[in-house]
Amino acid sequence: MLFKTTTMLGFENYVNVPEAARQLSIHEESLRRLLRLGTLPGEKIGGQWFIDKEQLALFAATYDAKTGRRRHII
């Protein structure tokens, strides 16, 4: 239901917390913490976080879910 609503409102380039957490293989609260700290950029709209798909892809490329830290690329 939420996905249809966000699509109708022009949010097709964004994902919500549950979907982003699945993509990163982390708990939803861990993702919300990353958003609150600004480690992962996102927008809070109506009490819910939305993450741009491109920003999520860039973050996912450097994030290590096992350690909870970003990987350093040499």
Q: Are strands 48-52 and 14-16 parallel, antiparallel or unpaired?
A: antiparallel
| Local mean pLDDT, 10-residue blocks, the chain (74 residues) | 54 94 94 95 94 95 73 51
In the prediction, which pLDDT does 69 show?
A: 60
Domain boundaries, the chain: 2-67
In the prediction, which pLDDT does 1 show?
A: 46
- CATH topology assigned to domain 2-67: Multidrug-efflux Transporter Regulator; Chain: A; Domain 2 (1.10.1660)
Whole-prediction pTM = 0.76
Residue 53 makes CB contacts below 8 A (sequence gap 6+) with: 13, 14, 15
